[in-house]
Structure 1
Amino acid sequence: MRKSIILAALLLAPLAACSSNPPEHAEEEAHADNHDEEGEIHLTEQQIGSAGITLVQPQSGGAGVLSLPAMIEGDPQATQVVSAAIGGRVVSLQRNLGEAVQRGDVIAVIESREVAALRAEAEAGRARAQLARATLAREQRLFAERVTPEADLIAARTAATEADIAVRLAQQQLAAAGVGGGSLNRIGITAPIAGRITARTVTLGSTVAPDAELFRVSNLSRVAVTLSLSPADAGRIGRGVPVEVISGDRRGTGAVHFISPVVDETTRLVPVIVTLDNSGGLWRPGEPVSVAIQAAGSGNSASNFSIPESAIQSVEGRTTVFVRTAEGFRATPVAVSSRGGGRAVVTGLTGDERIAAEGSFTLKAELGKGEAEHGGH
């Protein structure tokens, strides 16, 4: 009887050991429930929301989208350089960088001896013309009274005509130099167009040479976006094609304005200019942006889809997105054909899926954690 009891205890001991799980094994099995199959991640709606994962649906038609970097520039037709035809010393600056101006506003004053000389010549010419006209009137009266010969009248008429020509020439020289009213030796530099001061190369008290650039005035209600395309891609777009301009959270829509008929000798690319409305002051010249151009597609566009770049992760060397399933997510490999403007064109999806965009890196980390733990057992 005693031997039977001892034998039963020996048989039950291993079974008891097998039925009890250490805490660490229980945790591993609980975690393994999130990765029943390779590439599968089981998450509840609450867990997805807590992880900050957003879902998007792929957009069809990505094959015809050209995504590439570009640069915001001022519209060349709405930018003018302001210079002085006469050199001198800057004695007043009326506007600073970024300030708005209207056409004809005085933005600087230059003091110059040449201006004084031009004004003096104009004044002298007017005085000579007045004297010549008075002389002509006297000679006409004397000739009518038969006091002076006709030759004196002809000479007086010629002198008056030459004096008038000299006055007009002096006035034209003043106008060409931009000299208006004001003191004898000063010239006011005016804004040629309405806009904003986008560049200023002078300082108060400095001496400037004739025709040197002083300011640059730009009307920024419309800006240009410059980019370069390969000759093949340039052949897929035309003038007026819509272009989406993207920088962070800012987006705008412009249109292709110019496609160069000549390939750039240095880059071997085709320069393209896009015009973009900027009445709200959203875009700044010199700012790098991304553009997406809807071009004539090639190949089977039905199999190409546009998705956010944030949805793409690299898993074990493969480009992957995480597709929403009933239990969570499934890692699905895709092929990327182009990137730009925060989006990518991919193949390998049907277009009916919902994929993780923001927060997809969290899924990648969770998948890698689960595979590492499975690999250790």
Structure 2
Amino acid sequence: MKMSMLRAIAPATLAFTLVACGGGSAPAGNEAAEHAEEEGHAEEGVVTLSQQQIAEAGIEVVRPTVGGVAGAIEVSATIEGDPQGVQVASAAIGGRLVSLTRNLGQSVSRGDVLAVIESREAATLRGDIEAARARLALAQSNLRREQRLFAERVSPEQDLIAARTAATEANIALRQAQQQLAATGGGGGALNRITVRAPISGQVVARSATLGQTVTADAELFRIANLSTVSIAMSLLPADAGRVRPGSRVEVTAPGRRQEGRVTFVSPILDETTRLVSVIATLDNGANDWRVGETVSASIIVPAGGDTTVAVPSAAVQMIEDKPHVFVRTPTGFKAVPVTLGRRNGGQVVVTAGLNGTEQIASTNSFTLKAELGKGEAEHED
């Protein structure tokens, strides 16, 4: 009786065990699959780049504009050189030009020799130095002799004082003669020659000197311009100028070029003739993209006070699967974040959802990140 009961229970126990094991293995497999899906989802939209790779790709990282964009003041503007960046190299004394080392368009560094002038006045100045040097040597010799005689109680103290005074005056006369020659640009390898040197680093934009020409003192020979930074001159209506502050962003555009600058000056005085307000902005010109005198279009971005709207540069928005995205900086690169866009103002577009304004985003060359993202997805599918 007992043996028959055991035989009946054993199959039931085995079946229960198998069912239990099978029931336990299915959830475990589902959890692993779900975990794998979560890991794949976490990597979606991510582009891994080092800081060096970001710099080499020319990707600029900026923060979104918080405060909204009330509009843009569109005006015509003119490129002007920095007043401190244009200087003249002139002859300090008259003479004949015997050497010219630079021509139009050539770059120079501060202190470079631009020209050599042969002058009788230079010879006179050098002669004055030699005479002053000889007088100083004689005065110092007399001083040593008087010091020795005074120590031997042969010469009175009054003679020693006179010799010391004469030596001091001779030393002053020598320094004065040397400074007079230095003020003319003394040098050039000969007694009667002086040099004209570049007052600043930059580029030769004008040259009025001709080899062999006789020039007068203070005659302009070269004009040197450092145009690594240029100014944008604008004229605004008083009502518009009241909305502009130093530091406001200015987008400057010309055929094939676009660059951003900053307002540095808003005049508190109206122009007497035009009754407009002068506004100056600065623009980096390290690549020599902008020329002095060129007419360009300027768009002054005016923020809206009391607003917390987030705006990004239009170049920062990339369409991925027909949806707008912005690439947000991460510790290892960038992540494509979907956003909802609002109105556009100048080169800015309002983001109504997706960003809070505290992120760092890729602005220029963000299309390279889109391309990298496409490559990564294609490799993943393979």
When the two structures are superposed, what TM-score results if normalisation uses the length of structure 1? 0.60
8 Å CA contact 2:187, 2:193 repeated in 1:
no
CA–CA separation in structure 2 for the residues paired with 1:134 and 1:252: 69
User: How large is the Cα RMSD of the aligned pairs?
Assistant: 2.2
Aligned to 1:233: 240
What code does the residue aligned with 1:239 have?
P
How far apart, CA to CA, are the structure 2 residues paired with 1:204 and 1:255?
43
* 2:93 aligned to which of 86, 92, 108: 86
Q: Which position in structure 2 is the counterpart of 1:245? A: 252
**Structure 1 letter corresponding to 2:256:** D
Give the match's secondary structure for 1:261: strand
What residue in structure 2 maps to residue 13 of structure 1?
Answer: none
What does residue 135 of structure 1 align with?
142
C-alpha contact 2:69 2:303 (8 A) present in aligned 1: no
Equivalent residue, structure 1, for 2:283: 276
- 2:298 corresponds, among 265, 269, 291, to 291
- Aligned equivalent of 2:217: 210
Q: Of residues 150, 153, 158 in structure 2, which corresponds to 1:151? A: 158
State the alpha-carbon separation in 2 of the partners of residues 68 and 225 from structure 1.
11
| 1:71 counterpart = 2:78 | yes
Runs (5+) with no aligned partner, structure 2? 1-67, 306-345, 348-382
Secondary structure in structure 2 of the residue aligned to 1:220 = coil
Question: Which residue of structure 2 lines up, in the alignment, with residue 262 of structure 1?
Answer: 269
Q: Give secondary structure in 1 for the equivalent of 2:144.
A: helix
Report the Cα offset of residue 296 of structure 1. 5.3
- In 1, Cα distance between equivalents of 2:222 and 2:180: 23
Question: What are the superposed Cα offsets for residues 90-109 of structure 1, whole Å, 9 maximum, x if unpaired?
Answer: 22111011101111110111
Tell me if structure 2 keeps the 8 A contact 1:237–1:296: no
Quote the offset at 1:167 in angstroms.
Answer: 0.8
Q: Which blocks of at least 5 consecutive residues in structure 1 are unaligned? A: 1-60, 299-340, 344-377
Distance in 2 of aligned mates of 1:271 and 1:209: 38
| CA deviation map 1:313-339 (0-9, x unaligned) | xxxxxxxxxxxxxxxxxxxxxxxxxxx
Per-residue CA deviation, residues 65-115 of structure 1 (Å, 9 max, x unaligned), is 221211112222222222222222222111011101111110111122211
| CA distance in 2 between partners of 1:64 and 1:199 (Å) | 41
Q: Give 3-state SS (helix, strand or coil) of 2:191's partner.
A: coil
- CA distance in structure 2 between the aligned counterparts of 1:207 and 1:271, rounded to whole angstroms: 43
Asked whether 1:172 is paired with 2:179, we answer yes
Q: Distance in 1 between matches of 2:80 and 2:282?
A: 10
Whether the 8 Å contact between 1:225 and 1:275 is mirrored in structure 2 is yes
Distance 1:124 1:272 in 2: 57
C-alpha deviation, 1:277, in angstroms: 1.0
Q: Distance in 2 between matches of 1:226 and 1:90?
A: 38
Question: Distance in 2 between the 1:297 and 1:69 partners?
Answer: 23
